Structure 1
Amino acid sequence: MNSDIIIIGAGPGGYETALYAAKKGLSVTLFEERRAGGTCLQEGCIPTKCFCRSAEVADTVADSQTMGIITSAPTVDMARIVARKNEVVDQLTAGIEFLLKNKLITYVPERAELLDAHSVKSASGETYTARHMLIATGSTAKIPPIEGSGLPGVVTSTQLLDIDHVPARLCIVGAGVIGLEFASIFRSLGSAVTMLEFAKEILPNFDTDISKRLKQVLGKRGIEFFNQAGVKSIEPNGPALTVRYTWKNQEHTVEADTVLIATGRAPRVEGLGLDRVGIHYSPKGIETDDNLQTNVPDIYAIGDVNGRCMLAHAASFQGRKVIDHLLGEKSNIDLHIIPSAVFTRPEAGMVGLTEEECKQRGIAFTAKKSLFRANGKAVSMGEPDGLCKLIADENGRIIGGHIFGAHAADLVQEVSALMNRGTTIAQLKEMIHAHPTLSEVLQECAREF
């Protein structure tokens, strides 16, 4: 079978690119060995947000007395939480599969392997050809070489999403986005949570002001942090587990019922036939240029597999950029402005440069902050913990936005939109914001300049 483009992988990057290509009149053959939706829908963004919502409800009920609502203490039904998560995933998966019933899209629910620059072989042995290839195979959980990481009770985020109980004691190795979200979730559901992070700060890629304050607030919620901690081994201890780690030049242990390994993701490159075709790649992912093109003409790679930015929305827009490039159409997509968020309680969000990055690159900048505790909506919501930080270059143009607090993930999108249009701090000051809203923290921050 011949088509204009073959896409390997039906995650957000793959299936959204397929739909966009078909809308542009291109014929597509789309391969997926698992379920449509990829990591994001099946074991990442969407399932964890289901858990986040359950945790938020548990917190709301537990805190209801402060709002004048008297209730009994909440009881957590983990089986029902998981069942609801599965219902949401199934509903959205069915929706994607329905969209893929497009006359220009041939959906093949099988694994595909590259034969050459223009053809692949499916798991069932059929050969498919196309003028262009797009690799969008995503990533897998990265497991460090820790002795005992294969023991029962030691899980990845995928396995934790199907757990049938709330662990009394949860130890999380890695305080990045994945680790922190699960720490916040299971603390709300009743777990005692200990986090072991090798780096100096949590959320190493976030602005230090945000990561430090988020750590402080999560610590007040009872999550215990050990930064610059090196995990040495995990050992069975009856029905429990003992995690051995070094911290401040001494060996320590922590007992846990479940240990989550949350040390990041690795590009899914195995078994694709990259070596056969001569595609350049490394442990960081498939090498691509600014058009997401590999060193082999007509083969592109998007999303987690190229290691540029492991976010679902980054993959989707990289795919759009590829199709625009293939069709010779001008694209205004700026892949340097990609917002990201951490759905802890409170949330954290960022876009653009951090203060540390500006210093490293020698960029002249000004940074100012505003606090949620001065925002009427935040205080009335009972969510006064929060910080907004804006960074502007020497011309006053906004080059970075960093927020932690209620609905930070939504608020940072306004900063992203402003940055995409080259907005200055002076212009933001003059944009009327509704009152009372959380978004006023952005305008108040601008007024600090």
Structure 2
Amino acid sequence: MKDLLVIGGGVGGLVTASVAGQLGLDVALVEREPRLGGDCLHYGCVPSKTLIRSAQVAQLMRRGGEFGLPSYSPQVDLGAVSDRVRAVIDTIQAHDDPERFRGYGVDVLFGEARFVNPREVQVKGERIAARRFVIATGSRPVAPPVPGLAEAGYLTNEDVFALRELPRRLAVVGAGPVGMELAQAFQRLGSQVTVVELAAEVMPKEEPAFAAELRAILAREGVRFRLGARLDRVERDRDGVTLQLRQGEEHLPLTVDRILVAAGRAPNVEALDLNTANVRFDRRGIGVDARLRTSEPHIYACGDVTGLYPFTHMAEYQAGIVIANAVFRVPKRADYRVVPWVTYTDPELARVGLAASEALERYDDARVLEFPFAEVDRALAEAEPHGRLQLTTCRGRILGATILGAHGGELLHEIVLAMQAGVKLGSLSAAIHAYPTLAQIHRRAANTLYAEQLFSARTRRLVRWMHRLLP
């Protein structure tokens, strides 16, 4: 009997298995794909950010005139870009070599795992028993049930990065983070991209003003938007693929060459036979408590399969909670008060903690502080004046932040650390920030609060009184 059996070879599963194996437990890791690394490495974070970077360089070539240099419109070979994406994946894949984990004492098995009872799984006909289990099977893209869509054919994040030919016309169905990132990237690489979204605005989980500002930036680059549009059906003909859209009573057909679906994800639970294991789940994922235990206390789950915060960094964080509980047997609860996430458009949209609308609704004395990148010298020097920082505070405590700007994801972590460590707004304001850096925006935003107090009528009267009375 194994001490621990981990199902899923993505970030959550790899972290859990490697730590448990190095601590001397008898560990098995089961992955259904013939390689480790999971969705993030092969279909998500790594390939998308690599593609996005190539698209940024192409856009910088076109912007040469803004920097006193020649402007150049590159003829993009998507096959060469895809080769670079593949090379980056292969380089990182070396860290996820099965032999590395076997060296940690982990028994790495490839195949589909299925529970035969709450204490055993079956893999390729072999039954394996364990004292404790960790389910880290991740999630997958799903397509809306639109008539004709499957027959017409569509791309998802699982195959779009293997494209060799650039679509002349591309429809992106879904205006969430993945849809927005890839819409901008393919527009910059040379496609004419149209984003189709049922909601009235893009990025529905973000503050509306920031989402609208980001949409306007992409629109200026040529991305077209069909918002509030219902996709009734899809038809293929000799001219391409036509999406039959409806906005209210208006019928608006859209003909493209390829369709990219980025309209949501589903947990990978079907093959596990969780009912046999008495593990409760629904369409969102496997239910877990604060210690990441399922309805069967000896079975844990982490990462996308739980439906909680579908980010790679959260899978890694949750794996740490599982290790504390399942390996060290120390009761530790997950804390989701300071969870950062980033949409890797250009500029990036980064967020942590409470947004302005949430803070104002929750606290009567909450304050919202803002500062634009257009007034940060480094942003001007780099010709990146777009966006702003928004800080939410209450009585000197930082409640959250939203950043729309160049390198917003990198800049966010000063706020993340401040919130995690309980650093007050005054300390953020007092910290010396090197000049000229984009990070100065943190101090400038914080100082907008103190400027009101410093230059108030009361303070002005006090200063005049002091100068009259004191030598």
Structure 2-normalised TM-score? 0.91
The aligned counterpart of 1:207 is: 207
Alignment check: 8 A CA contact 1:153 1:257 kept: no
Alignment check: 8 A CA contact 2:63 2:71 kept: no
Alignment check: 8 A CA contact 1:178 1:264 kept: no
Moved more, 186-195 or 85-94: 85-94
Pairwise CA distance, 1:379:
0.8
Instruction: Indicate the SS of the match to 1:274.
Output: coil
4+ residue runs over 4 A deviation: 330-333, 359-364
The aligned counterpart of 1:121 is: 122
The aligned counterpart of 2:387 is: 386
2:284 counterpart of 1:287: no
The aligned counterpart of 1:220 is: 220
Instruction: Indicate the SS of the match to 2:159.
Output: helix
Alignment check: 8 A CA contact 2:152 2:241 kept: no
Instruction: Indicate the SS of the match to 1:391.
Output: strand
In the alignment, the residues of structure 2 paired with residue 442 and residue 193 of structure 1 have an alpha-carbon distance, to the nearest angstrom, of: 35
Pairwise CA distance, 1:302:
0.7
Q: Describe how 1:159-198 pairs up with structure 2 within 5 A.
A: 159-198=159-198
Instruction: Indicate the SS of the match to 2:422.
Output: coil
2:335 counterpart of 1:355: no
The aligned counterpart of 1:372 is: 373
The aligned counterpart of 1:21 is: 20
Query: Which residue identity does 1:79 align to in structure 2?
Result: G
Q: Describe how 1:268-283 pairs up with structure 2 within 5 A.
A: 268-283=268-283
Distance change >3 Å, CA 333–CA 376, structure 1 → 2: farther
Moved more, 288-297 or 147-156: 147-156
The aligned counterpart of 1:247 is: 247
Moved more, 245-254 or 356-365: 356-365
Query: Which residue identity does 1:350 align to in structure 2?
Result: R
Alignment check: 8 A CA contact 1:230 1:246 kept: yes
Alignment check: 8 A CA contact 1:391 1:398 kept: yes
Identity, % of aligned pairs? 32
Instruction: Indicate the SS of the match to 1:171.
Output: strand
The aligned counterpart of 1:304 is: 304
Alignment check: 8 A CA contact 1:355 1:391 kept: yes
The aligned counterpart of 1:328 is: 329
Pairwise CA distance, 1:333:
6.0
In the alignment, the residues of structure 2 paired with residue 295 and residue 332 of structure 1 have an alpha-carbon distance, to the nearest angstrom, of: 16
Pairwise CA distance, 1:101:
2.9
Distance change >3 Å, CA 363–CA 232, structure 1 → 2: farther
Distance change >3 Å, CA 55–CA 280, structure 1 → 2: same
The aligned counterpart of 1:5 is: 4
2:142 counterpart of 1:142: yes
Pairwise CA distance, 1:252:
1.2
Moved more, 329-338 or 319-328: 329-338
Instruction: Indicate the SS of the match to 2:276.
Output: helix
Query: Which residue identity does 1:5 align to in structure 2?
Result: L
- Number of matched residues? 446
Pairwise CA distance, 1:299:
0.4
Alignment check: 8 A CA contact 2:58 2:73 kept: no
The aligned counterpart of 1:112 is: 113
Distance change >3 Å, CA 287–CA 89, structure 1 → 2: same
In the alignment, the residues of structure 2 paired with residue 226 and residue 442 of structure 1 have an alpha-carbon distance, to the nearest angstrom, of: 35
Instruction: Indicate the SS of the match to 1:193.
Output: strand
In the alignment, the residues of structure 2 paired with residue 332 and residue 137 of structure 1 have an alpha-carbon distance, to the nearest angstrom, of: 21
Instruction: Indicate the SS of the match to 2:150.
Output: coil
Instruction: Indicate the SS of the match to 1:252.
Output: strand
Name which one, 1 or 2, has greater alpha-carbon Rg.
2
Instruction: Indicate the SS of the match to 2:271.
Output: coil
Instruction: Indicate the SS of the match to 2:371.
Output: strand
Q: Describe how 1:38-77 pairs up with structure 2 within 5 A.
A: 38-70=38-70, 72-77=72-77
Deviations 1:113-161 (A, max 9, x none): 1122222111x21122221100000001111111121134422122211
Distance change >3 Å, CA 269–CA 359, structure 1 → 2: farther
Alignment check: 8 A CA contact 1:358 1:364 kept: no
Pairwise CA distance, 1:362:
5.8
Alignment check: 8 A CA contact 1:229 1:245 kept: yes
In the alignment, the residues of structure 2 paired with residue 400 and residue 251 of structure 1 have an alpha-carbon distance, to the nearest angstrom, of: 42
* CA-based RMSD: 1.7
Gapped runs of 5+ residues in structure 2? 450-471
Pairwise CA distance, 1:219:
1.3
In the alignment, the residues of structure 2 paired with residue 86 and residue 385 of structure 1 have an alpha-carbon distance, to the nearest angstrom, of: 32
In the alignment, the residues of structure 2 paired with residue 10 and residue 422 of structure 1 have an alpha-carbon distance, to the nearest angstrom, of: 35
In the alignment, the residues of structure 1 paired with residue 58 and residue 299 of structure 2 have an alpha-carbon distance, to the nearest angstrom, of: 47
Distance change >3 Å, CA 420–CA 332, structure 1 → 2: farther
Instruction: Indicate the SS of the match to 1:140.
Output: strand
In the alignment, the residues of structure 2 paired with residue 420 and residue 355 of structure 1 have an alpha-carbon distance, to the nearest angstrom, of: 19
Q: Describe how 1:388-407 pairs up with structure 2 within 5 A.
A: 388-393=389-394, 395-407=395-407
Pairwise CA distance, 1:343:
1.0
In the alignment, the residues of structure 1 paired with residue 148 and residue 364 of structure 2 have an alpha-carbon distance, to the nearest angstrom, of: 45
The aligned counterpart of 1:99 is: 100
Pairwise CA distance, 1:94:
2.2
